[in-house]
Structure 1
Amino acid sequence: MGNCAFCGFTGKLTQEHVLGDWLSTIGLDLRPTPHVTGPLNRIGRDLGVRPPFRQTVGICGPCNNGWMSRLEIVAKRTLTPFILGNAGHLTAEDAGPVAAWLQKTALTAMLVSSEKERDAGYGLPPSEYHRLWTLRNQKMPLPTSQCWIGRYAGQRRLAATWVTPITVAVDGLPEPDAPQGYTTTIVLGQLLLHAVQFTTEALACTATTRQQLPQLWPATTRVVWPQGTPVDDTAFLAFAGAKDLRSTEPFIRLGPWIPATELPASQAVGDMVELPTICGKHVVFYPMTLVREAMRGRFYAFATACECRTAYLIHTEPDGAHCKAADTVEAVSELYEALPGQEIMIGGEPGEFICKRL
């Protein structure tokens, strides 16, 4: 029993695939793979290792088997060649349903987060779901949307859905303190779909991408695939993080809402590195030795906690230290213990520091 996020139905819900189960029938690699989801600030939640395209969320039967199913049929017919890397084109008539499918998929993916997390503000506005539902028979995305289509040239992602809140900044005015829209990025095989949706309609503007990807929506003519600069693994995080989005209008800048996408910068304090935590109130420390090790291509994991009594699992990576989980001390300890790798002890001024070589 529950509530359908799209139409508001209350009652027994059916299970809607976040990424259509038809994707398991077109020839993609179906070997079990790690599944993760993440709230803000790069913190992921491990969903386990299992075959792809099995994640579901609760949606009412009329939505699941009705307008959503019709969008999946169009997506399968039009996108399968591109997913498999075969060149082709997409007609203007199919662009609207594909763009609506992209938006529907992003909204559905956000329902993987718990109801408690969504009530606390992690997710997209509930009005977005209802507005898309009201357009279900028109097979088009929300009016303040733009969508692009390109090629994913990386190796790390078989399938991924990213949603990043964005701001619209006007030269000469203070930086916005709240997001006015969001971008969606979907990777399926070699296909890359990208969209921007403005939730503050008065600030909607025309945008493009740094990669000069062809515009899928609003549609004007057929789109030939692939075009534009492919996005590889090196460029993907910046692209999905809305850092490659450009406004075509003078004096207007589009970019990620920083509190949702980036932690404050670390800084050296003697022989230690001061790392701000996601609560925004406290910091934790780790030895400068781990920075020097990262420069040599050797990376480590460690568990720590701040004064909020929240524990964190931290990994050092080529571009810095990243928080991989935030939870109770017990939960983070279990994640740390489950990591493969040799545990070592680093001595120093503050005392002994325990970590694992990854």
Structure 2
Amino acid sequence: MSKMEKAAQRVLTPLILGNPGKIALEDQGILAMWAQKTALTAMLVSSDEQREGGYGLARSEYKAFYLHRERMQPLDCSRFWIGEYAEDDGFSAVRVTPLVLHSPRNPEPDVPCGYALTIVLGRVVVQGIRFTSADAEVDVKSTMDMPQLWPGQGTLQWPGGTPCTRESFLGFADGKRLRGVDGQVALQPWRQAAHMPESVHAGDQVAVPAMCRKHVVSYPATLLMEAMRGRFYAFLRTCGCQVTYLLHTDSDRSRFRAHGDDAVRIYKRLPGEEQRLVDGTEPFLCKRLPADADAAIMKAASQL
């Protein structure tokens, strides 16, 4: 892993800073492997229950990645592209979206066929797709026309294709710019993971549908106002199933990041002093997140 990290750092550092350059063929598999490793690490916050329901990544993905670590390339049935994040606003993200193959004549499958992973780091955006079964693999292209990173096709020039912006990021990260080459089968986000009901702002509370799909959890609308000012917070909420979740506010949503005992342990490891807000008759406890919220949560999760 140290060899992979050093190679990725050497190649990515000038690109992250926005300096155009070339990526040699021998480095492309390593960069794709690094992106896949980063996504797998980010998804460690998913619980066993969430994995069984398709919301996280199966343990078999981690086992396969470990067994093939010496190859210095991503898992089989993977494809990657590398492009430019067009804005210099300090935004960074790691997003994983379950995908299904959809045919107009058939209902949506019960389980995903794979997942899209998207990473923004400085001025670089890397997107990949991994089919978890060779039987489900189809030839895929990105309508963003970003250079294909893996499988490698020769030295590539960066940047290239249509840049990703803050406005286009969510649709892009949900795999909505990926297409099957033959045009017969559509790739789309798995509805159960990507189409949760929206939150509701009512009075001094924001009600968020819980992952159980049976209950809602709430947090003070004060945090919504804070999010509009670019200040984000992490907090714990328990639904009617007596399941505790770790959530945090973001620029455009409230995000579930962990579940059960792991949620509590990650929250305790997050940096910063705990704050008490007035929430009716009970204090509401939360932590102000640093600018790179994803990195802070991933670091706390890796310490479990």
| TM-score (structure 1 length as normaliser) | 0.60
Residues 138 and 157 (structure 1 numbering): CA distance in 2 closer, same or farther, change over 3 Å?
Answer: same
Contact 1:99 1:216 survives alignment (8 Å): yes
Aligned to 2:91: 157
Residues 184 and 317 (structure 1 numbering): CA distance in 2 closer, same or farther, change over 3 Å?
Answer: closer
2:240 pairs with one of 276, 289, 307: 307
Contact 1:263 1:277 survives alignment (8 Å): no
Contact 1:166 1:180 survives alignment (8 Å): yes
Whole-angstrom distance in 1 between the partners of 2:95 and 2:77: 19
Opposite residue 94 of structure 1, the aligned amino acid is: D
2:106 pairs with one of 173, 196, 202: 173
Whole-angstrom distance in 1 between the partners of 2:178 and 2:246: 31
| TM-score (structure 2 length as normaliser) | 0.69
Contact 1:171 1:251 survives alignment (8 Å): no
Whole-angstrom distance in 1 between the partners of 2:55 and 2:237: 24
Residues 286 and 89 (structure 1 numbering): CA distance in 2 closer, same or farther, change over 3 Å?
Answer: closer
How far 1:139 sits from its partner (Å)?
2.3
Aligned to 2:3: 70
How far 1:277 sits from its partner (Å)?
2.9
Residues 124 and 318 (structure 1 numbering): CA distance in 2 closer, same or farther, change over 3 Å?
Answer: closer
Q: Which runs of 5+ in 2 are unaligned?
A: 289-304
Q: How many residues matched?
A: 277
Residues 338 and 253 (structure 1 numbering): CA distance in 2 closer, same or farther, change over 3 Å?
Answer: same
Aligned to 1:194: 127
Whole-angstrom distance in 1 between the partners of 2:84 and 2:36: 18
Opposite residue 197 of structure 1, the aligned amino acid is: R
How far 1:315 sits from its partner (Å)?
8.4
Once the two structures are superposed, what CA deviation does each residue of 1:172-195 show, in whole Å capped at 9, x if it has no partner? 111111111011112222111110
Q: CA RMSD in A?
A: 4.5
Contact 1:156 1:233 survives alignment (8 Å): no
How far 1:196 sits from its partner (Å)?
0.2
Whole-angstrom distance in 2 between the partners of 1:118 and 1:213: 31
> Alignment identity in percent?
41
Once the two structures are superposed, what CA deviation does each residue of 1:34-61 show, in whole Å capped at 9, x if it has no partner? xxxxxxxxxxxxxxxxxxxxxxxxxxxx
How far 1:198 sits from its partner (Å)?
0.2
Contact 1:206 1:248 survives alignment (8 Å): yes
Aligned to 1:44: none
Contact 1:275 1:285 survives alignment (8 Å): yes
Whole-angstrom distance in 2 between the partners of 1:116 and 1:306: 15
Residues 282 and 213 (structure 1 numbering): CA distance in 2 closer, same or farther, change over 3 Å?
Answer: same
2:102 counterpart SS class:
strand
How far 1:280 sits from its partner (Å)?
1.3
How far 1:171 sits from its partner (Å)?
2.5
2:128 counterpart SS class:
strand
How far 1:145 sits from its partner (Å)?
0.6
Aligned to 1:80: 13
2:142 pairs with one of 209, 214, 221: 209
Opposite residue 135 of structure 2, the aligned amino acid is: A
How far 1:157 sits from its partner (Å)?
2.5
Opposite residue 82 of structure 2, the aligned amino acid is: I
Whole-angstrom distance in 2 between the partners of 1:323 and 1:116: 14
Pairing of 1:276-315 with structure 2 (within 5 A) = 276-283=209-216, 306-310=239-243
Contact 1:214 1:223 survives alignment (8 Å): yes
How far 1:93 sits from its partner (Å)?
2.5
Contact 1:167 1:178 survives alignment (8 Å): yes
1:183 matched to 2:113: no
2:116 counterpart SS class:
strand
Once the two structures are superposed, what CA deviation does each residue of 1:275-302 show, in whole Å capped at 9, x if it has no partner? 6432112357899xx7xx98xx799999
Pairing of 1:243-258 with structure 2 (within 5 A) = 243-258=176-191
How far 1:92 sits from its partner (Å)?
2.0
Pairing of 1:28-43 with structure 2 (within 5 A) = none
Once the two structures are superposed, what CA deviation does each residue of 1:203-227 show, in whole Å capped at 9, x if it has no partner? 2112222322111111112211011
Whole-angstrom distance in 1 between the partners of 2:67 and 2:232: 49
Q: Which runs of 5+ in 1 are unaligned?
A: 1-67, 346-351
Opposite residue 150 of structure 2, the aligned amino acid is: W
